[in-house]
Amino acid sequence: MSHIVSVAQLIHLQRAAEHGTGPAVRLLDVRWRLDRPEGRPEYLQAHLPGAVYVDLEHELARRGEPAEGRHPLPEADDLQRAARGWGLDDGDIVVAYDDNRSVPAARLWWLLRRAGVDVRVLDGGIRAWTAEGLPIERGDVLPAPGEITLKGGAGGVLALDQVEEFRDSGVLLDVRTPEQYSGARTATDPVGGHIPGAVNLPAMAAVSSDGRLQQPDVLRRIFATAGVDAGTEVAVYCGSGVAAMHTALALELSGIRALVYPGSWSQWSNTRGQPVAVGILPEGRLTRV
């Protein structure tokens, strides 16, 4: 199964579905960003024809305690209920997109792919679609409920109590900005810094100037600068578990399977007693939460 599609590939899939020579294609609009977490207003103004809006904050995460991080993973039953509400059926091809360099769409990709769904990300998002002069729609799309059954989807996760042991045997990537990694900028977390031993490689290093993901050979060179190649055990974290899944997608495109620490820094920094490294080096100046 592919992990991303271009606009041309999406149109090909849609035409195949229309002619009965391919599975149904379901479009999901995952408009979200840190400074504007509710993307529905933008969705209502313009979206790909037939696309259903997905609320990242409420459908791709659940409300939890600070010690769980800002975006805890949704419960399996809740995710399946949401997926059926988006109109998904077993066997569908799901294509997710956004207007934020595929970061929120990658969250949906990661959650549904580990649950056995053929889900792909539209490379370049809605901007790539409109750049081709293709039609857009206004208003809401309310599909008939689907009957999809999500599989277990329990793999690919690194839990809080597994992080330090993993760091001793693999590469732990911190994909936040250098300012957040070093502790110079704390954002909304109680302390700044990074998990001791983590290597900084900002998520946006994998994105080209037009908002698309870099080509696989370029991605492999980028990850090699952080000591990651096809034979490396690697786990990824970010601020709250969204951008980490974008890097997991980029790693997958380069042929590298990664674990994700979903709690990320928002969980680590809210858990008393956890070690913290401050500065630009992986070990840094050590302190504790």
List the catalytic residues.
238
Note the residue count of the chain.
289
CB 96 within 8 A of CB 118: no
Contacts of 76 (CB under 8 A, 6+ apart): 115, 150, 152, 153
Q: Which of these, 61, 54, 58, lies nearest to 95 by C-alpha position? A: 54
DSSP H or E run through 28: strand 25-29
Residue 87 gets the label, from left (phi > 0), alpha (psi -120 to 50) or beta, of left
Residue 126 gets the label, from left (phi > 0), alpha (psi -120 to 50) or beta, of alpha
DSSP H or E run through 12: helix 7-18
Measured between alpha carbons, how far is 180 from 177 in angstroms, rounded to an integer?
Answer: 5
Measured between alpha carbons, how far is 265 from 185 in angstroms, rounded to an integer?
Answer: 13
